[in-house]
Amino acid sequence: MKRPLVRAKLDYPFEAPACDGSVVEVAPGILWARMPMPMALDHINVYLVKDASGWILVDTGLNTQASRDLWEHIAASHLEGLPIQGLICTHMHYDHAGLAKWLCERFDIPLYMTHGEYFMLRALSQPTPDPLPPSQLSFYQRAGMPDDRIERMWQTMRKDPFTPPEPRSFVRLREKDHLQIGERDWEIKIGQGHSPEHACLYCAKDQILIAGDQLLPRISSNVLVTSIEPEANPLALWLSSLVALEALAPNTLILPSHQQVFKGLHARTQELQAHHADQFEQITEFLNEKPGSSAFETMRHLFPRLLSPVDDMLALGETIAHLSWMRYEGLVHRSLDAAGVNRFQLTQQKPAQAIERLNIRQFQNQYA
Ligand SMILES: [Zn+2]
């Protein structure tokens, strides 16, 4: 039975800036700007935080000339004649860190990132092999993806036009670090599941969270299993990161990396938990009807529309993430068939019990 999804009621106190170098002040000394992206998700939010004698940037936009031009415009127009003094990248995805090298060199500033994000950025900026190495090929074959579709996906992925040049040094951010920026003290809160060591910044006194991709108002962040770490359980990390965010003040002003600045922390975390619970239920029903399905077949059920090569990578990774969570919870059993494809069966454990746990706070005890 499908759980009725109740849309969270969120407040959006500000009109979003256009992707034209304009800014919106969301709190004294905090500016919100947008960089364009040539894809369905057509923008990323970036923030500028005023320090005692300059500005700290949070996230960069993609490595494009349009983003570079907008940064030049913002630096010349909105910073009260003060210099840019540092760059914080919440995580390594190319819309967040794609211009890290350019900004650091252009404004001669340090880059602040977590260890996990910085080195993942450097690792992924290495040339992508062709053909697909056997260890990675077998990940997709085990998922039951047809060879022509694997090839189509890989050829698209390896030509990512936004792969950025790698910044050569960084200042490390850690969980519970405190950064004093201007009058505000910001605590670093690490989230996992979407990326390895994602930094959020929380100002407890003013109840402001610079959330990166850890909490978006209307879209759910990608949580993927990929060929790099085939046995990962990123949804367990993601769901426990959501619970950690629930400890923040309920009325926190959330500055996300996409869509609009909002309030409604708990409504949104619970909506996201319900979203994943719904995915688990859909998978349970599918495997009940079609026991022994592959991850690819499960993906086709969850995402029935035609998928582009990039969608294939995201949808398969997302499907395997849900299957892996269910497997580690003991809800699903995985076995390799004679053709080398993993087949998934429901176990005897009652799925409802594990899924119900999503909607209560027991995650904290289980995973924190
Ligand atoms: Zn991201």
- Looking up tokens 């031009």 gives 69
DSSP code for 169 = -
Q: Which long-range contacts (CB under 8 A, 24 or more apart) does 303-308 make?
A: 308/156
- Please tell me the predicted confidence (pLDDT) of residue 193: 97
Provide φ and ψ at 36, rounded to 5°: -75, 155
Residue 339, pLDDT above cutoff 80: yes
Cα of 347 from ligand 1 centre, angstroms: 33
Q: Which residue segments constitute the domains of the chain, with CATH numbers given?
A: 24-129+168-264 (3.60.15.10)
pLDDT digits (tens, 9 = 90+) for 12-44: 999 999 999 999 999 999 999 999 999 889 999
Tokens of 257: 């990396």
Cα of 222 from ligand 1 centre, angstroms: 7
Residue 149, pLDDT above cutoff 80: yes
Question: How is the beta sheet containing 184-191 ordered, strand by strand?
Answer: 178-181, 184-191, 198-203, 208-212, 253-256
Residue 362, pLDDT above cutoff 50: no
Residue 231, pLDDT above cutoff 50: yes
pLDDT digits (tens, 9 = 90+) for 271-288: 999 899 989 999 999 999
Cα of 212 from ligand 1 centre, angstroms: 7
Closest-CA residue to 213 (of 203, 224, 198): 198
Residue 360, pLDDT above cutoff 60: no
Cα of 44 from ligand 1 centre, angstroms: 10
Residue 66, pLDDT above cutoff 70: yes
β-partners of residue 101 are none
Cα of 323 from ligand 1 centre, angstroms: 21
At residue 5 the predicted structure's pLDDT band, cuts being 50, 70 and 90, is low
Pairing relationship of beta strands 208-212 and 253-256 according to DSSP bridges? parallel
Cα of 232 from ligand 1 centre, angstroms: 18
Cα of 129 from ligand 1 centre, angstroms: 23
Cα of 218 from ligand 1 centre, angstroms: 15
For residues 344 and 293, give the distance between their C-alpha atoms in angstroms, rounded to a whole number. 6
Q: Of the ranges 83-87, 101-105, 124-128, 193-197, which one carries the lowest mean pLDDT score?
A: 124-128
At residue 364 the predicted structure's pLDDT band, cuts being 50, 70 and 90, is very low
Instruction: Tell me the pTM.
Output: 0.92
